[in-house]
Each structure stands twice: as structure tokens, then as C-alpha cells.
Amino acid sequence: MGWVRGASSRGGGVASPTTPTPPGMLERTGNIKTILTQLAQQVSSSGKGIRSLTWRMNSDDGFMPLALLKAEPGATVQVEMMEGVWSSGDGAAEWSFTFQGTPEEAVILRSFIEGQWRRGGDRDLIKYQLTYDPPLTWSDQGEDWIRRLTRAGLGTQMATIGLELSAQ
């Protein structure tokens, strides 16, 4: 399976001038490229969080619900995003950035992403793949294995998360 670039633009309207943007949130002022650039600038100004924003190719599969997103202090999480839809067969360039932060910061990032692209109350519009380097093995499904890995200190290894932004 691979990424297929779509024609849709994710964004929405700009917040009203009379309604202040809540702390830690961004106004929706453009497509995913614009939004991620704004997010990278905002977080990098604090000296932590997103370190880079680059193009990357991805043709992996094996996605799981975004609710499983976890990060431990000192962890480096590679988050790969694209503007388009998930399909099989073709790969396409998507945006990626390196996120380094605490679990609390990861929650803020997850909420931001979900707030931008979740529609119609569907909790499965955004999914991701988590891999560790070196690879790890586990036998359970769901969130429990991630909890055990992070409790064991394995959450500080390199983790790669690829995000799917569904157009459905």
C-alpha cells in the first residue's frame, strides 16, 4: 500500500478576530502544508517539539488508531503526514516532521491534528503506524503493549509514526 496524493485541501476557516485563539492552538489558515509549517514555527520557537519539516516518501502499511499515540520524555517520534487520501499501489510525497517532547506535548499535538482533520464525529479518520528502531516484538493487540513498552523504558527509542488522513 502507499500514499496517493488527493486534491482536497484540509484547513477550514480562520478564527474570528473577536474570538481569541486558545493557548497552544493555531488558527486554521490553510492546507496541511501551511498548517504544519505554522505548527512547526510555533513549537520550534519554544526550543522543543518539532525540529524539522521536510518532504518524505512512504509506502508502508499496518495502520492503527491514532488514539494509541504515546511519547515518553526524551523520545523522538517521526510523524509523517500528507495532503490526500490512503490508497494502494502508488506512493506520493507527504510532509513529515520530527517531534521530540513529553507525553503532555504529544497529547497537545494529537489534539491539534484531530481537531484539524476529524470530521463528522468519525474517530477513525486519522490513523498511524508505529515502529521502533531497533524493532520490537509483542503479542497483544491494542494499547496495552505500548504501555508496557514505555514502562519498560523502550519508549525512549526511535519511533516512527505515519499518519493517514482519510478523505471519507
Query: Are 81 and 54 a contacting pair, CB within 8 Å?
Result: no
Please report whether residue 83 resides in a domain. Answer: yes
The answer to whether residue 17 is domain-embedded is: no
For the chain (168 residues), the mean pLDDT of every run of 10, in chain order, is: 31 38 39 51 50 37 36 42 36 40 54 50 42 45 44 39 38
Does residue 54 belong to any structural domain of this protein? yes
Flag whether 12 is in a domain: no
The pLDDT assigned to 115 comes to 56
Range of the domain at 82: 32-165
Split into its structural domains, the chain has a count of: 1
Q: Is 155 helix (H, G, I), strand (E, B) or coil?
A: helix
Establish if 4 belongs to a structural domain.
Answer: no
How high is the pLDDT of residue 113? 57
Write down the pLDDT at residue 58. 33
* pTM reported for the whole predicted model: 0.28
pLDDT of residue 25: 38
In a domain, 97, yes or no: yes
Going by C-alpha positions, the residue among 120, 134, 133 that lies closest to residue 167 is 120
In a domain, 14, yes or no: no
Q: Does 156 fall in a domain? A: yes
At 38 the pLDDT is 58
